[in-house]
Amino acid sequence: MPQFSTEGWSFETSEPSAAIADAVERDEIEKELPSHRRWIPDMVFSGAHLTIDRPVANVRISFNITDALMGVAEWQEGTIGANDGLLSRVGVDIWQELGERCPHQVRVAAARTWHPDMSNPDVHVVSPTASNHNPQLPKADWTYSTAYGGTFTGPWLSDEIRGSAECLPRCQLTDRSLPIRWFSQVCLWEDELADNGSSKYVIRVRVMPNFWYVLASFLLRVDGVIIRLVETRIFHQFGTHEVIRHWSWRERELNGLDAAPLRAKVDAAVAQGLIGCESLAEDEGSLCFELCDKFTFNDSL
């Protein structure tokens, strides 16, 4: 497995070319999930993970398939229902306001032309995603849209940072004059959504001479319907006792948009997986919100 250590930190990822999980491995993953949502993407990659350890402080940051799937959003009556630490901090009023512009409960483009034969008295309209109170029926998003922002374990002290847009040193992160000491990339899963688009979760980590940085991206495209990008950025400056996490959720409808490459506030490497979308910049046509947290550790433990 790719490994690297520096400045009291140790990094480990699965192999970038990890094999697709077999039936036995898929069963093990499904057993870790709640009984009413035991279905997983078509391609989950065997043992895919990222682990960042600070042994002297007994703290860890990790990304793994099971925790990421546990963060898949659940929808009830058009409102978020998952007990997720990040989504639970987004007010219901915000979800309702933004939900008027973007379809949270995503349906494929062809669904617009599907109409039941109401002239038949035996036909009844049943929605599997609305008014669903049966715990045995799936409520989780079939697109695997997850708010997962990493797993923090150990004696971290956390505080929310106001003014999320300025919480990361973007000039430092975009400075290409410094060498990259170590880099790795991991894909947790990929699913073509029955040929209706793409759902993918990718993690990239790089270690620079004076900091390390993680970019975890959930990328969703439902053809002709919606583009969604949920990103988690984690940053640590060597010599400090702080780790900054910036989390954002951005999406917009594709209906009526030209098939132009993704532009604006999205990394070029990420944009390659989202061709077909216009800009995800903050404008009247897009949904966008973000949260920022500071995690503090103590090396004297």
**Which carries the bigger pLDDT value, residue 282 or residue 48?**
48
Mean pLDDT score, 242-251: 91
Q: Provide the b/e sequence for 260-277 (b: ≥16 CB within 10 Å).
A: eebeeebeeebbebbebb
pLDDT per residue as tens digits for the range 258-286: 444 444 344 444 444 443 334 454 455 56
pLDDT per residue as tens digits for the range 80-120: 555 456 766 766 666 665 555 544 567 666 666 666 666 67
% of the chain at pLDDT higher than 90: 41
- Tell me which residue of 218, 200, 197 sits closest to 277, measured CA to CA: 197
pLDDT for 290 equals: 85
pLDDT per residue as tens digits for the range 55-78: 999 999 999 999 999 888 765 544
Tokens encoding 275? 């061709």
Mean pLDDT score, 241-246: 96
pLDDT for 226 equals: 83
**How does the average pLDDT of the chain come out, rounded?**
78
pLDDT for 99 equals: 56
Q: State the residue for tokens 């999205």.
A: 266
Q: State the residue for tokens 């993953």.
A: 29
Mean pLDDT score, 25-42: 84
Mean pLDDT score, 1-22: 90
pTM value?
Answer: 0.81
pLDDT for 123 equals: 61
Strand order in the sheet with 197-207: 43-44, 182-191, 197-207, 211-222, 226-237, 242-253, 286-296, 157-160
pLDDT per residue as tens digits for the range 221-237: 988 888 889 999 999 99
CB atoms within 10 A of CB 116: 10
